[in-house]
Amino acid sequence: MKRHAAEFIGTFALVFVGTGAIVVNSAFPGTITHVGIALTFGLIVLAMIYAVGDVSGAHLNPAVTLGFCAARRIPWVDALPYIASQCAGAFAASGILRLLFPQMPAHLGATLPSGSVTQAFVFEVILTLILMFVVLRVSTGAKEKGITAGIAVGAVIALAALFGGPISGASMNPARSLAPAVVSGQLDALWIYIAAPILGALLAVPLCRSVCVEEHCCDEKAAGGSS
């Protein structure tokens, strides 16, 4: 239960602070800017990795959890409780933002493609693949290792949001997209932000194995156990 509570708290913080930055920037135009929003997402993930990473691994993302399952870092039976906790935290954050900002903006920071569906889908797949690859390489089991792990993961998220945000929203996280989309009623493109990150995370597993010096070094046994 402590792991699930940690995932709830961490994902709540991610969605409240990250999408909250988008909401505040819309309510007060230009106060945070696109660069500020990207840095906000990266910094809150960095902080939550250090805050709860030793408890749950600080997945904060259903796609990351499924990636860890595919890499045999955690058993598949743990996936549903993790994902349920992450989604609950995300919905709690979006619900509070709706109460605090009942009029604007209508989308509550939901991710929406700015161009074609194909363009957004491919961006989300590749961005999540890169994120999951880095997560697998800087983690032991399903937990981050060393003081630089949070910096590495937070930096990837900030960089992805900096250049991918204007194209697809750079979600890389089904829970982060699901909650604001449902609470705000922006459901048209939601399938992109559920399917593409999951696909990207799963594709990262064989990519990680391809660069391992030791056989199965990206698997649970070589990585030192699961969370």
Angstrom distances, CA of residue 56 to CA of 41, 100, 188: 19, 30, 32
In this model, does residue 82 exceed pLDDT 80?
Answer: yes
> CATH number of 2-223: 1.20.1080.10, 3.40.640.10, 1.10.3720.10, 1.20.140.70?
1.20.1080.10
Which residues sit opposite 143 in a β-bridge? Answer: 140
Strands (E), the chain: 139-140, 143-144
In this model, does residue 220 exceed pLDDT 90?
Answer: no
Residue 119 CB neighbour total at 10 angstroms:
13
CB 34 within 8 A of CB 113: no
Overall pTM surpassing 0.85 (yes/no): yes
pLDDT tens sequence across 165-209: 999 999 999 999 999 999 998 898 999 999 999 999 999 999 998
pLDDT tens sequence across 7-66: 999 999 999 999 999 999 988 888 999 999 999 999 999 999 999 988 988 999 999 999
Cis ω before 166 (30° cut-off from 0):
no
Using the CB atoms, write b or e for 59-93: b if 16+ within 10 Å.
Answer: bbbbbbbbbbbbbbbbeeebbeebbebbbbbbbbb
In the chain, where are the structural domains located?
A: 2-223
Question: At 40, which amino acid appears?
Answer: T
Residue 184 CB neighbour total at 10 angstroms:
17
CB 201 within 8 A of CB 129: yes
CB 64 within 8 A of CB 198: no
